[in-house]
Amino acid sequence: MRLLRTAALTAAVAMTAAACSGSSDNGDSGAGAGKYQMSSDTPAGKGPVADATWALFAEPQSLDYLYAYDFPPNTVLANVCEQLLRITPDFSIQPGLAAKFENPDPLTWVYTLREGVKFHDGTTMTADDAVASLQRHLDPANASAWVGAFKDVASVTKTGPMQLTVKLTKPNVLFNQQLAASPGTVESAAYLAKAGKDYGNPTGKVNCTGPYTLDSWSTGDSINLKKFDGYWDKNLTPAVDKLKLVFIQDPSARVNALLSGEVDGGYMLPATSYDKLAASGSGKLYFGGNSGTYNAHVANLGGALGDVRVRRALSLAVDRKGVVDAALNGYGVPAKAPAPAEAWGIAPTTGKAAHDALPPMTRDIDAAKKLVQEAGAAGKKIVVATISVSPEISIGANALRQAGKDIGLDVELKAIAPDAYTALFTDPSARAGIDLLITSGYNMTPDPLEYYGTLQSGQFPNYGDWKNEEYDKLVEQANAAQDPITRAALTVKLQEIAVRELPAIPLFDTPYTVFLGKRISGATPVLSVMLSYPWAAQLGSAS
């Protein structure tokens, strides 16, 4: 799971979470009903294009896959670097740079690499490259952002010229799945050694196997990608020769650039712009599946929120529909669980059914007041972090404040400077004095265990250090369950506990978006595609 990060980012972002659809059977919803239609794809590109321009809401801090823990770097790297496995547009996991992967016993994963794959410098990929790439995550000196994916890894070794074997200390199904995202990236070992500390920065760049090469990185302006003629997957041969990804942080400027045709497309548009983009005639706005939900994560159980009755009270009092209407312009639905129905890729029928069967989180001020009284929490202070540049967070925080006011809690907002918001998720000291954080945790893989596993005690994103023995045991059991249906059944139980105990208070689900101008088409409006699939290789001329 990764987190909606900073302010600058969230400001620009607008919508990233959720698995909602245009309509919902959730009785408390209806905010987004009929307002938008979900698309699994956009019309395929019809022909070659010499060059195209794409809007990024922020400049990547690094293109080193170790630190690709945010939307901008992953949006770029999805086209430049590849992983051992691949998450497909239909949210399934398929072989990627590994032609096959096996699990001879619960503690062993064997990956056999695809033959004839070339790096951008023309050298051929071997097991040495894959081993070197994965081992970088294991070196504490590298401080990989993805170290959590490797927490149960005992060793990564070369077991053949084109084969590597990963030994685990205990069964961990998620490890294998996460090799379809940044943790599974393969870079040339020789290039890693040559670039050293410059690897991934504008000087050192990267040298991977994707359909696009990183041609140039103009700091503060753009990243230019160029079609890689030696790309191995002929099904994803780019139709766009040159793709310029321009950094446009200001939401209004980004929207105007799309409307004017200055840029040809962009993911993750501000919710406030949806109506304008949809009606513009300058292109088309598509809504797609999102694997995350916006939640108010409990960051401190030492205060009033240590009592589950207070968490429930706040959950009962918050006006989710109001937030959807005001912050998302109606493009979303109130959440029912901390992970959306769309996150259930491994068991789309039973998992989604279990999610949909959850009762709606209806507003009940009287019941909430009663809970606060029972908990003896009247007048107690709860501090909610907020950032003014992100409407979905600032309005969500305002709604929590109003909810507290309505039920006798003293909810105080603490505004965080835009650039400091990221630190709340990476630095525990930055969370000092904060009880609730609004963020979107989303799944990179089709398995909602990825999200629910982060609420296990001791996990890095379990900000409030919430502990529940039953929950912890279930996470271990699920991680050891090879059968997806069995794992999904266990994860459903995790979902039930999470909804009951509320270590994260679900707020709202909202669709994922992509806008395509009149020149190009083919981008898939799905979050996991933008982050891990060579989406730009699907682009082509619109006519």
Partner 1 sequence: MTAAPASRVPSAAPAAKVAAPPRRGTAWMRGLAAQGPLFTAAVATLVLLALCAVFAPFVAPHDPETIDLGNSLAGSDADHWLGTDQSGRDVLSRLIHGARTGLLGPLLVVAVSTVLGTALGLVAAWRGGWVDSLLSRTMDALFAFPAMLLAILCVAVFEAGLTAPVIAMTVAYTPYVGRYVRSVAVQEKARPYIESYRVQGWSAWSVTTRHLLPNITPNIVAQSTVSFGYALMELAGLSFLGFGVQPPTADWGTMVNEGQGAILKDAFMPALAPCAAIVVAVVAFGIVGEGISDRIAKRER
Q: Which residues bind partner 1 (CB under 8 A)?
A: 7, 251-252, 255, 270, 272-273, 275-276, 319, 321-323, 325-327, 329, 386-389, 391, 394-395, 397-399, 401-402, 413-418
Complex with partner 1: residue 64 or 319, whichever CB lies closer = 319
In the complex, the smallest distance separating the C-beta of residue 126 from partner 1, rounded to whole angstroms, is 47
Least Å distance, CB 252 to partner 1, is 6
Residue 388 in tokens: 């003014």
401 or 487: CB nearest partner 1 = 401
CB 66 within 8 A of CB 146: yes
E strands, 114-185, are 153-160, 163-168
- Of 402 and 541, the one with the shorter C-beta distance to partner 1 is 402
Provide the minimum distance between the beta carbon of 198 and partner 1 in the complex, in angstroms, as a whole number: 28
Residue 27 CA neighbour count, 13 Å, CB half = 7
CB 524 within 8 A of CB 518: no
DSSP 371-384: HHHHHT-TT-EEEE
Q: Are 235 and 534 in contact (CB under 8 A)?
A: no
The distance of closest approach from Cβ of residue 524 to partner 1 in the complex, given in angstroms and rounded to an integer, is: 25
> CB 121 → partner 1: shortest distance, Å?
41
User: Least distance in Å: CB of 273 to partner 1?
Assistant: 4
353 vs 417, which CB is nearer to partner 1?
417
Q: How far apart are CA 38 and CA 65, in angstroms?
A: 31
Q: Where are the alpha helices (DSSP H) in 261-364?
A: 274-280, 308-317, 320-327, 350-356
Q: What is the CB neighbour count within 10 angstroms for residue 410?
A: 15
Cα separation of 172 and 482, whole Å?
9
Specify the residue, 14 or 246, whose C-beta has the smaller distance to partner 1: 14
Q: 359: buried, middle or exposed (CB in 10 Å: 19+, 13-18, 0-12)? A: exposed
Quote the CA–CA distance of 117 and 230 in Å, as a whole number.
8
What are the angstrom distances between the C-alpha of 313 and each of 294, 465, 471? Answer: 18, 20, 22
- Closest among 91, 90, 29, 41 to 356, alpha carbons compared: 29
Pick 147 or 415: Cβ nearer partner 1:
415
Identity of the residue, 27 or 376, whose beta carbon is nearer to partner 1 in the bound complex = 27
Q: Give Dmax (Cα) for the chain.
A: 69
- Alpha helix segments (H runs only) across 164-273: 173-178, 189-195, 251-260
| Residue type at position 307 | D
Residues 87, 532: contact at Cβ < 8 Å?
yes
Distance CA 265, CA 518 (A): 9
Q: CB neighbours of 483 closer than 8 A, spacing ≥ 6? A: none
d(CA 393, CA 289): 20
Closest approach, Cβ 325 to partner 1, in A, equals 6
Q: Least distance to partner 1 from the beta carbon of 458, Å?
A: 30
For residue 71, the minimal CB distance to partner 1 (Å) is: 19
Nearer to partner 1, 255 or 536 (CB): 255
Q: Which of 365, 537, 509, 526 is nearest to 30 (CA)?
A: 509
Task: Select 39 or 329, whichever has its Cβ closest to partner 1.
Answer: 329
**How many residues make up the chain in this entry?**
543
Least Cβ distance, residue 322 to partner 1 (angstroms)? 3
160 token code pair: 């053949």
13 vs 208 by CB, closer to partner 1: 13
In the complex, what is the shortest distance from the CB of residue 259 to partner 1, in angstroms, rounded to a whole number? 10
Is 12 or 162 the residue whose CB approaches partner 1 more closely? 12
Query: Smaller CB distance to partner 1: residue 24 or 386?
Result: 386
Closer to partner 1 by CB, 505 or 536: give it.
Answer: 505
User: Quick one: three-class SS letters along 446-467?
Assistant: CCCHHHHHHHCCCCCCCCCCCC
Q: Which residue, among 477, 445, 480, 489, has the nearest Cα to 106 in the 3D structure?
A: 480
Residue 419 CB, nearest approach to partner 1 (Å): 9
Residue 390: CB minimum distance to partner 1, A = 9
